[in-house]
Each structure stands twice: as C-alpha cells, then as structure tokens.
Amino acid sequence: MHVWAHDHWSFPLPPQHRYPLSKHRLLRERLIAEGVCLPGEFHDADPAPWWALTRVHEPALLGRIRRGELSVREQRGLGLPWSPELVERARRSAGGTVLAAREALRIGVAMNLGGGTHHAGRDFARGYCLFNDVALALSSLRDGGLAQRALIVDCDVHQGDGTAQLLGPDPLAFTLSLHGARNYPFQRIPSDLDVDLLAGTADAEYLAALDDVLSTALRHGGYDIAFYLAGADPWRGDRLGTLALSKTGLRRRDALVLDTLRGEGLPVCVVLAGGYAPDVRDTVDIHAATAAEVAARTVTT
Ligand SMILES: [Zn+2]
C-alpha cells in the first residue's frame, strides 16, 4: 500500500512535547515490519503551499504561524512550542492529506500517516493542530474540479471543533464527530452531527452508535468523497481520552467505517488524528491496525 508520511522531519523539541509526534516514525517501522507497506511505498508529502492554506485559514493567523509570532495564549492553546521545523512538519502533514485524498479518488481508498488535525479552525490553531488538513484537502479537490461534496467521519475521541467551524456551515460538506462527552475541547463548535459518548463507553455501545450515525450521515447522500479521522485515542488506556474501547473494538470500528463508506461507493481518505497512550507502542498498534484495514481494501496500481 502506498502511503504519505512526513516523519523524517525530525526536530528538536523538549521531551515533554515530543510524545504526541513521536508515533509517526515508529508507525513507519511497524508497517514495514508487518509487511503492510514496503519501504518504497512511503512517499514524502510536499508541504502545503501557503497560498493554498489561505483558502482555509485567516491570512493573519498564517502570518503569525509562519513568522513565529503566535501570542503566549495561542502557544499555550497549541500545546507545542513553535519552531520552523514544527511548521514545516505541519505543512507536510497537511500536504499528505491532499495527496491521499487525490489517491483515494483514483483508487478508492488511501491513507496519510499524519493529518487529522481537526482542532485547527479558520482563525485559531490549538490542541496540537496548526492547519486543518481535511478542509485543505477538500478545498484542493474543489479547486481541481475533482470533488465537491464531502462527508467527514471524525472518530478521534475529541470533538472536531476546527472542522466544524470550517465545514459545518458548508452546504456541500457534512461533518460527523463521535467523541467523549465532557472532554477537550470544552467549548464546542457544533458539527452537523455530534455524538457525545459517556465516559467509559466500550466497544459494543460505541460500534452501535457509529453504525447508526453513519446511516444518518449517508442518508444526506451524494458525496464525492469521505474523510475518515481514525483517532487512536478512544482506546481505554489513552491519557487524553475518556472512552473505553479495546484495540479489537477500534479495529472493528475501522472496518465498519471503511466497509460502510466503500459499500456506498465512496472514495475514502484516511488520516491518523490523535493517540496518547502512556506507552507510544499502544498508539502505534492502533494506527497500524487501521493501516492494515486500509491495505486490505486497497488495490495498488
Ligand atoms: Zn484527539
């Protein structure tokens, strides 16, 4: 399976900030070790051009990000210290989703080993998210006349507030977010369809809710593409989540989303989103299982 990645962009960060981003390199190694991807099937994502990012984000915000002029409040909200390497990496992560979305249109399903940065909105960058890759990819597909209508299935444990701000009002996009109730972000921007799950929600209940809302979202119909944010953080051991899914349950979630969307004939672009297990290898297990589910449905040409 061909995938897009940006993990070679190593950069100096203090240890307490390294964790959320360290999973990418480990995931690459795991996918090779498990035979999901050959070494030659990893493609470096190009950085998203600044002009393209202005289709999604306020130019003033982009200027502050580019020049390292985020306010103290903005830095704190972002949760990562600014550096030129962080910005480069985030642009490549977003660029990977653009390429994966194009590949999904071509072959049916494709994956970016990054992205899912759903807390980035038009005028804010927060929760480890600098740029909203899904909104960027959709704007790129629209510019190219490749797709107009999109379904966003956000299964990260945190509500997709940035995506909701950017695409909720868009009549040609439908934003669906399943997440822990009373979890970050505490001030929500409503999606088209939000599902607040109680703390401790486990596999069966989660999968039933997901199945139900996928049907609802698909009833709106007519989509040209779907984006699936396969967050690893609904796992029961995640430090930043409140749900209680098992790894098996998360893999069944991936299969359910992929089979349901593909069953409707929809191209699916899969992105990683969050994952904050105390031992990063657990997060990598979950993302690797998602990649294996994607690979099982991919015909590489
Ligand atoms: Zn998350």
pLDDT in tens, 233-275: 999 999 999 999 999 999 999 999 999 999 999 999 999 999 9
- Report cis status (omega within 30 of 0) of the bond before 14: no
Ligand 1 center from residue 144 Cα (angstroms): 30
- Return the sign of the alpha-carbon dihedral for residues 96, 100, 102, 106: positive
Domains of the chain (ranges, CATH numbers)? 3-296 (3.40.800.20)
Ligand 1 center from residue 40 Cα (angstroms): 30
Quote the distance between the C-alpha of residue 204 and its chain's center.
Answer: 23
* pLDDT confidence of residue 300: 56
CA distances from 91 to 30, 44, 166 (A): 24, 12, 18
Residue 130 DSSP class: S
Q: φ and ψ at 176, to 5 degrees?
A: -120, 130
Is the predicted pLDDT of residue 224 greater than 80, yes or no?
yes
CB atoms within 10 A of CB 223: 22
Is the predicted pLDDT of residue 187 greater than 70, yes or no?
yes
Ligand 1 center from residue 48 Cα (angstroms): 22
Choose between 43 and 97: higher pLDDT.
97
HSE, CB side, 13 Å, CA atoms: give it for residue 219.
Answer: 7
Given pLDDT bands bounded at 50, 70 and 90, which one contains residue 16?
very low
Ligand 1 center from residue 184 Cα (angstroms): 8
Mean pLDDT, to the nearest integer, of 187-203?
Answer: 97
* pLDDT confidence of residue 10: 47
Quote the distance between the C-alpha of residue 64 and its chain's center.
Answer: 23
Is the predicted pLDDT of residue 130 greater than 70, yes or no?
yes
- The two three-digit tokens of residue 174, written as one number: 């439908």
Ligand 1 center from residue 68 Cα (angstroms): 24
| Cα torsion through 48, 277, 261, 198, rounded to 10 | -120
Burial (Cβ within 10 Å: 0-12, 13-18, ≥19) of residue 88: middle
Ligand 1 center from residue 155 Cα (angstroms): 9
Mean pLDDT, to the nearest integer, of 214-238?
Answer: 96
Ligand 1 center from residue 244 Cα (angstroms): 14
Of the candidates 204, 157, 208, the residue with the CA atom closest to the CA atom of residue 180: 157
Ion ligand 1 neighbours, Cβ < 5 Å? 156, 158, 231, 233, 274
74-127 pLDDT, tens digit per residue, is: 999 999 889 888 899 999 999 999 999 999 999 999 999 999 999 999 999 999
Which residues are known to be catalytic? Answer: 119
